[in-house]
Structure formats: structure tokens, C-alpha cells
Structure 1
Amino acid sequence: MRAVQACGSSAVLSIGAAIISDIYVSTERGHAYGLFYLAYWLGPFIGPMCGGYLTEYFGWRWMFWFLAIYGGIIFLIILFFLPETSRKVSSSTGAYSTIRFNPIAPLKLLRYPNVTLVIIYVSIISSIIHLQYISVPRNFSQRYNLSSSTIGLLFIAPATGCAFGSLLGGKYSDFVLRKKKAENADFSYPEMRIYSAWSGAILAPSSYLAYGWLLENNSNLIVLMILWFLGSLGTLVVFNSMSTYLVDAYTTRSASATALNNCFRFMVAGTVAILEPLMENALGTGWMFTFIVSLGVISTFFVVVVYFKGKEWRENDDLKNMEQ
């Protein structure tokens, strides 16, 4: 049932990305995606805050009742406030389409090197958040003797970081794109947006590296929360810039690009969730974060390559398509 629920929620991301691509121009798209992903990223952090209190004071049974009621309310909202989803197209127009639905069509985008490299980078850098998320309950209950409800409150720090990172990252992404277009009035290309990711690409790994080693040494809780906030902020700056770049580069296939990005990102996150306890037991907290952060730093080279070569790759592929 959890897998079925995830299928529904993941569809929202792809469809939402396609809608934003359709109704916003490129210089406003970053801010629009910042608002869109704000709700998505806040969910995993608000959930533990609520779940911690429900579990500690009411028990697991009441938490699942809450989820059932919550899901039922959402279903009713969709049913009554999104009536356009049930409308049928009139057959009197005589219009028809020869395009067939192909569920694996998004995989074809992997033939483009810029898409593949960006997805690898985004998957690795965002997996750090999931690795940290999985490690929080055990570390803070054992090291600081915190209750479930108190541990839930700790997620205020990353939730705030994600909120600022998503909103500010989106605005900054659009600002950089407009500035680059102004400097190159004769031409513009999607890779210009990648420049806005550099600040987050530096902030996120450095914050998480310091967080890992300070947690290893049971450092001050406030310092850890500040680092968690900064790491989440930097990750969302990167995520927003690179995800919006994929849409800018393939506007007619924005839903497929977003779906492919999320597919691999969630696969990596799932793998991290399985391996986190094993890695932390084998390496220790500090070296575990050092390892995953090192992978993120190494994969930053992929973004550099896309920044300088992406335009050339896309143009060459367009020429091949024209020849065919």
C-alpha cells in the first residue's frame, strides 16, 4: 500500500513540472518551481514533527487512524475541487491523435549526456538529505537521550532550510538567467541557469561534512541544527537550479525529464535508506558523511562538464534529428 501511495504522489511531481513549463517563461520558471517544490520538500520534515507527537502520546494505532482520515480528506478535496479531471472530450470535433502512450519513453532521454550527468549529480547530492534523515532518530535518541516528540521538533531546522533554499534558490536562479541573457543579448541557452547552482554546490557538502564529524563527537545541538539548516538550504538551491535546467533544455518533454530525474533520485534514496545503518556501523558517523559528501563533490565535475558542453551536445543532437 505504501508503494501504491508513492506512485500517486510521484505522478504529481511530473505533471506539476509539465504544467509549470507550459505556463511560465524561462526567466520566471525558477521562482515558480521554487514555490512548487516548497510544498514537496516540506512534507518529509513536517511529517516527523507530527508523527513524533502522535507516536509518543497516542501510540502507533492513532497515528495510522490520523493517516487514514488525512488521506480521506485529500481524496474529497481532489474529487470536489478538481472537477476538470473528470471531464470528457467531445467526439463531435472529430479530432484524434496517433501518439501512443509509452510508459518507458522517458528513458530515451538518457541518450543525452547532459541529462544523464545532471541526474547522477542531483541523485547523489539529494541523497545526503535522505541519509541524514534516516540517521537522525537513532543518533539523537542514543547520543542526546531525546524523546520521539523532541526529535520530531529537530526537523524544524531542515524544514526552514528547505523553505528558504527553495524560494531563494528559485529567485536567484531566475536572476542569474536574466543577468546572463543581458550579458549575451545576441543569444541565450539553458546552460546559463547552471551558474546559479555553484553556491549551493559548495554550501551543501561543506555543511554536511562538518555536521557528520561534529555529531560523531556529540557536539552542541544548536550548532548541529545550524549546519542541518545550511545543508538543506544548499541542497535545495542545487536541486531547484538543476531540475529547472532540465525543463529549460527540454521544454516539450518537461514531464518526462522530471519523471526520469525523480525516478533515479528516489532509487538512490531508497538504496541509501537500506545501506545507511550498515555504513554507519562499519565506518562511523563522521566517515559515513565523509564518504557520501565525497561522492557529491566528485559528481560536481559532471555539472561543470554540462555547463561548458551541454549547449554543443544539444545542438549536435538536433542536427542528427534533422538529418534523420
Structure 2
Amino acid sequence: MLSPIASTILYPALIILQQELQTSETVINSLVSIFIYCMAIAPIVWAAYSDEFATRRKVYLASMMVFIISTIICAISKNIWLLLIMRAVQACGSSAVLSIGAAIISDIYVSTERGHAYGLFYLAYWLGPFIGPMCGYLTEYFGWRWMFWFLAIYGGVIIIIILCFLPETSRTVSSPTDASTTTRFNPIAPLKLLRYPNVTLVVIYVSIISSTIHLQYVSVPRNFSQRYNLSSSTIGLLFIAPASGCAFGSLLGGKYSDFVLRKKIAENADSSYPEMRIHSAWSGALLVPCSYLAYGWLLENNFNLIVLMILWFLGSLGTLIVFNSLSSYLVDAYTTRSASVTALNNCFRFMVAGTVAILEPLMEDFLGTGWTFTFIVSLGVVSALFVVVVYFKGKEWREIGDLKNTESSDHVV
């Protein structure tokens, strides 16, 4: 929860920060956007180090120290520019949680249990954006600096837990022939995974379908305040619907993903390959476009609020089913690079989500609410065909990639 809470905790305090630090709305909003973009890029480096040197614990500890130190500096900042720089460093520190946490799950769970484990893991992540703004109300009683002191204390508790209860989980063991060679650290090594078509196509689909839920988040305040005359506090309560959908989707999606995988293994004479897990994504891939397409057009026509909340719940539920299944597939397919493939997936997902959040008001003004959702849903439906291709060709592509890597290694030796 650390990363999403740190990302959203400032929301209730943005106006107060703007007034106290005497800056513009554009600059103050940069505190949010810079966090998202750094949270997208920085995990690539953390994951590259983790996978290259086969360590999770050291990366966790280092990243948490970066987070705590930068958060303390944020708390004592006297001007917006220092706060902005430290906010970027804070994002870099907290960003390791997602990729390294996913790698730890890959280390300690077998493939038939991994989906449920990821469901619990991502449950905390997707609930974070709803908990963060609640923590932000510390501003009302203690001042905005206490938000950062709270995060620093939270980070300190996590470091203690890591030191006391988290052993090294990486199972990668260097061979004796590698002992005499010096490992070169490539901070952008995870990007090399894009040369595998199955990774690229799945990442594109996950990024697009995840951006749909972010587009909806951004569109809620203007639509529900103008169309239904709801107050900001009432609008905040509407987010219970997607929060519930994300929670159920993460938990049920994880269990369903493992159930489908075990069933397919039994049907295949107890032999398995990662693409079997993709079967569990089909239900979510169908539910998402149906829910959001109906939501967009009914919202444009000021339809019943309860019906819209049900559709929002179903769309969030479907999104998490897809996200959990395909994230687990990527880790199953590249277990030795689990941190890297997770970081790569999240990098593109955050970049697309950040871009969609910026463009959403322009799209809605130009196209209208219904056609905006129709456009993003259409992109999701087209990109879903990429996953169909991966289901049929993914195994072949991976085997070709493994063969090329083996030949390359033999040539080097």
C-alpha cells in the first residue's frame, strides 16, 4: 500500500499547499504528476539490479531508506522546488515495492498458487488510492507536513518488518564459471524483454485496459457535480463502488486464475505451460468493454445513479480479473526475470494512465462522454486480439527466444 498511499495522500492538501507555498495550480499539480511518472520509470532500475544480482531484500532496504530520507526532507521543505524534487525522489524510493514484492511472490509460490497470492498482493495496491486521500485529512488537524511525517513513520515500520521477518527469497544461484567474471549492471535491462512479442503484446493490452479505469476516475468529479449536483464529499463516497470492484476482482480473480490453471493442467495430462493461465482472463476481457461502454452512454444521458455505480463496480471487477491473470502469466513465463517483467508492465501501465489522465478533459470536451468511453473501449477490444495471438503463439515465441539465448550463451563461452 505504501506506493499508492504516498501517491494520493496529497490530494486533499493541494489547495493548502498552493496557498502556503505561494505557487501556481500547474506547479502544485506537478507534485502529483511527477510522482506518477517517476513511479513508472524508477522500478525498471530497481528490478534490473534485483534480477541481475539475485537479491530482493537488499533492494527493499535500499529503496525504503531512499523513501524515508526524501519524505523527511519533504516534511521540512520551505519552498515548492525542494518539495517537487524530493517528491520525485520519494516516488523512486516507494516504486520498488510493486516489482520487488511481485518478485518475492514468484520466488516463494508455485505457479498453481501464484494467482491467489498476487490477488492478495494487488488488493493492497488497488485499495491504496482510496485510503491515501483519507490519510491526507491529517492536514485539516495537524497541517500538511504531518502527511509526510506519517509516511516517514510508515516507512520506518516497514523497514523494521523487513529486517526482522523478510529473508532473502531469490533462488537464482550463480554458476561456478560465473564466479570469476564481473557482472555488469545494466539499469535498463528490463526493457530488453520487449524483444519478446508475447511480453510486448500483453503489456500493451494491460496498459490500455488499466487506463480505462483511470479515465473514469478523472471524469467523475466534473460529470457527477454537473449532471447530478453532488457535493465533493458525496462524490468521494461514489468511489466505494470501484474500490469494492477492485477488492473482489483481485481476490476472486486470483483464485479463479489458479483454478483455471489447475483445470487446464489436469486436462493436459499434468503438463503445463504459462499460456494456459490466459484462459482465466477471457471473462474479464468481456466484462470490461460491456460495462464501460454502457456506463459512458448512460452517464451522458444522466441515467439512474445506482445503475451507473453497478456498472462501475463491474468494470473495476473485470479490470482486476484481467490484470491479475495477465500479470501472473508474465511472471510464469519469465520467472527468472520476475521483478523485471513486473516493472516493465507497471512502467507502461503508469505512463499510459498518466497520459490518459491529462488528455481526458480534452477528449470529453471534443468527443462527448459517450464517445470518449467508446473510443477507449474500442482500443481495449482491438488490443484484446493481441492476447488471443499470444495464447496461440506465445509458447512458440518463448521457445524460440530460449533457443536464441542458449545459442548466444554458448557463443560467448
Is the structural similarity TM-score above 0.5?
A: yes
Over residues 195-237 of structure 1, what are the superposed CA-to-partner deviations in whole Å (9 max), with x where a residue is unaligned?
Answer: 0000000001110111111111111111111000000000000
Single out whichever of 161-170 and 131-140 deviates more from structure 2. Answer: 131-140
**Contact conserved, 1:161 with 1:231, CA < 8 A, in 2?**
yes
Partner of 1:21: 106
**Contact conserved, 2:257 with 2:325, CA < 8 A, in 1?**
yes
1:305 and 2:389 equivalent?
yes
1:251 and 2:331 equivalent?
no
2:222 to 128, 138, 143: 138
Question: How do 1:307-322 and structure 2 match up within 5 A?
Answer: 307-322=391-406
Partner of 1:149: 233
Alignment CA distance shift 1:72-1:202 (3 Å): same
Partner of 1:274: 358
Partner of 2:288: 204
The residue identity in structure 2 corresponding to 1:138 is: R
The residue identity in structure 1 corresponding to 2:95 is: S
Deviation at 1:83, TM superposition (A): 2.2
1:74 and 2:154 equivalent?
yes
- Whole-Å Cα distance in 2 between the matches of residues 268 and 198 of structure 1? 22
Deviation at 1:297, TM superposition (A): 0.3
**Contact conserved, 1:49 with 1:153, CA < 8 A, in 2?**
no
Partner of 2:279: 195
- Whole-Å Cα distance in 1 between the matches of residues 156 and 191 of structure 2? 34
1:108 and 2:192 equivalent?
yes
The residue identity in structure 2 corresponding to 1:228 is: W
The residue identity in structure 1 corresponding to 2:92 is: C
- Whole-Å Cα distance in 1 between the matches of residues 235 and 293 of structure 2? 21
Partner of 2:182: 98
Partner of 1:33: 118
2:131 to 19, 36, 46: 46
Alignment gaps of 5+ in structure 1: 88-94
Deviation at 1:317, TM superposition (A): 1.4
The residue identity in structure 1 corresponding to 2:330 is: L
1:285 to 366, 369, 389: 369
Partner of 1:213: 297
2:202 to 114, 118, 143: 118
The residue identity in structure 2 corresponding to 1:290 is: T
The residue identity in structure 1 corresponding to 2:122 is: Y
Deviation at 1:45, TM superposition (A): 2.7
Other structure's SS at 1:233 match: helix
Over residues 40-66 of structure 1, what are the superposed CA-to-partner deviations in whole Å (9 max), with x where a residue is unaligned?
Answer: 011113334665xx49xx75x967345
Higher-RCO chain (CA-CA 8 Å, sequence separation at least 6)? 1
Deviation at 1:5, TM superposition (A): 2.9
Alignment CA distance shift 1:186-1:153 (3 Å): closer
Alignment gaps of 5+ in structure 2: 1-85, 168-178, 409-413
Deviation at 1:80, TM superposition (A): 3.0
Over residues 248-289 of structure 1, what are the superposed CA-to-partner deviations in whole Å (9 max), with x where a residue is unaligned?
Answer: 000000000000000011010111011001001101111000
**Contact conserved, 2:246 with 2:320, CA < 8 A, in 1?**
yes
Partner of 2:313: 229
Other structure's SS at 1:288 match: helix
The residue identity in structure 1 corresponding to 2:161 is: F
Matched residues, number? 312
